[in-house]
Structures are given as C-alpha cells and as structure tokens.
Structure 1
Amino acid sequence: MLSEGGVGLPLESDSWMELLGVLNLASAEEVKGFVDGILPTLESYGLEVIESRTGILMLPMYDQAQGARFFVGELLVAEAKVKLRGTIGYSMCLGRDREHALATAILDAAVRAGLFRDEIVRFAEGLGRTLKREEEKLLRTVEATRVEMENF
C-alpha cells in the first residue's frame, strides 16, 4: 500500500508542477477525500501544519501600449504549508477553502517525501483527465453559440 520511491517523476519538473495545479483546480471534496484515506499513515510520519491561512493577492498586468504595469484586481487565496518526514509541502488555491489548500500541501509533501507517490500521481492524473474533458465540453458549448457577423 505504501509506495516508497516513485514513478520517475522529477519533483521540480513541469509535470509535477502541472499535477499540483490540477489538484488545486479539482473538486476540493475529491482531493480532501483522497487525503482522508491516507492521512492516518501520513500522520505516523510526523505531519506538522506550519501555516494555513487566507489572503489577498494583487493581480498585475502589463499595458504594452503605455509601457506600464497596473493591477487588474485582487484574488482571494487559501495557502498552506506542511512538514512531513522533514519535507516541506506547499499549496495555494483560489478561494478561501483552507482545507483544500491543506490537503494539496499534504499531497505535495507526501510525494516529495516518497510516500504514496505512485498513488498520488495516478490520482492527480485522473483528475487532470476529468478536468480536461470538462473544459472541452465547455468549449464545445461556447463554440456552439458563436455567431458569424458580416462586415460591410
């Protein structure tokens, strides 16, 4: 059940960063449910919550015509940092669901610590496929409403 080692996915690779993004965009209930299933084992390795909070980030943009940077607006985020087996895990999610950010940070720390690595990567890849299908469905729906206009 406990997989030490992993699927050969470099931890700082774009692939792992992409999977972390998937975990942050996925249904919070699915991510939290998955973590609940492995949490008792992870706690036995000394899981420690370092930080769990919400905050606001400014969203910067760059106006190329004026050559100036400006802020479009603010983003509400939930942020979490945990320590597991001496390894730091981090997550920041849009919105204020601190439990979702905490669950994702726990998964990040577990993968970096070599715990449940294969299972977590498979779970995140499955969520990624689901998100992709949902996005394609939305894009098809939007495309169906496109109207061609004639210019004279």
Structure 2
Amino acid sequence: MFNDNAGGGGEHAAELNILARARPERLKALAETVLDGMDAITVVTNRTGLVMVPMRDTVENVDFHLGEVLVSEAEIADAAGTIGYGMVTGRDLERAMAMAVIDLRLAGAGHDDAIAAFLLSEGAFLAAQDEQRMRQVEATRVEMETF
C-alpha cells in the first residue's frame, strides 16, 4: 500500500524527496533562476490541506494511519501540458510552488547544471542531517536485561 516506488520512477521519487525536504531559502532561490528561463505556466492547484500519515505495524505487518499533517500543495503545467508537482509539510505555498517549478523543469527539459548541483548538495546535506539525527536517537537506546 505504501510502497516508495509506487508508480515507478525511483530516481524521480528520490529527486522529489530531496526537493520536499530541501532548505526553503535555497529551494526558492533555485526556482527563481529556473523560472526565468521558462515560458508561461498555468497554476492548476495551489492549496493547503491535511493528509493522512501512513505507518506500518511491523509486528502485525499491516498499514494504519497515524494521524494527519498539514501540507502545502502546488501543481503547475506548461503550454505543452507537462506537469510539475510540489508538496511540502506545513503552510508554505511559496515553497510548494518552488518545488513544482523545479519538477516541471525536470519533467520538460531534464537536469541542467544548476539543478544537478542543487540536488547533489541538498542530498548530501539531508543525508548528514539524517545521520546526525539517527546518532542522537541511538544515544537514547537502553539495553535491558531479560531474565
């Protein structure tokens, strides 16, 4: 039900993950530079809403919904009908729109040097953040003796 590769496109899913978690100021700056080189776009969706947070019970091996989270969502299209999509946590429609602009560029023209460098640097930054967070979590682990 909650397969990371649902719909295929593992590389695209990884790129969207980086874009959704990227530092907002860097994401918005990149979108501004990308937007300068694009033709007119149409905003299809630009809204906030609640989405369910899926989790997996690893004991029972079943999916359930943990609760809801506020998200901002944007969908845009160019004249050729190519779609760009962005969804980020929280109430930041500019950030969602920036993500959609970059996704539209990736869908239409593919990677350029600026986008490739951004994805590489933000991916490395996020990986370092994730590693640090896991180290902090691991430091709280308690070993219990069982009788």
Same fold at TM > 0.5: yes
**Which 4+ stretches in 1 moved above 4 angstroms?**
60-70
**Counterpart-to-counterpart distance in 2, 1:142 and 1:66:** 24
Q: Which moved more, 1:111-120 or 1:83-92?
A: 111-120
Q: Tell me: CA distance 1:85–1:115, structure 2 relative to 1, closer, same or farther (3 Å).
A: farther
**Counterpart-to-counterpart distance in 2, 1:19 and 1:62:** 24
> Is 1:53 aligned to 2:47, yes or no?
yes
How many angstroms does 1:148 deviate by? 1.9
Q: How many positions carry a matched residue from both structures?
A: 139
How many angstroms does 1:85 deviate by? 4.4
Q: Which residue of 1 aligns with 2:71?
A: 77
Q: Which moved more, 1:135-144 or 1:104-113?
A: 135-144
SS at 2:13's partner residue? Answer: helix
Unmatched tracts of structure 1, length 5 or more: 1-11
Bigger CA radius of gyration: 1
Q: Which residue of 1 aligns with 2:100?
A: 105
1:26-65 to structure 2, matched below 5 A, reads: 26-42=22-38, 45-60=39-54
TM-score by length of 2: 0.79
TM-score by length of 1: 0.77
**Counterpart-to-counterpart distance in 2, 1:122 and 1:18:** 15
**Counterpart-to-counterpart distance in 1, 2:73 and 2:86:** 6
Q: Which residue of 2 aligns with 1:13?
A: 9
Superposed CA RMSD in Å reads 2.6
Pick 1 or 2: higher relative contact order, CA cutoff 8 A, min separation 6: 1
Q: Which residue of 1 aligns with 2:124?
A: 129
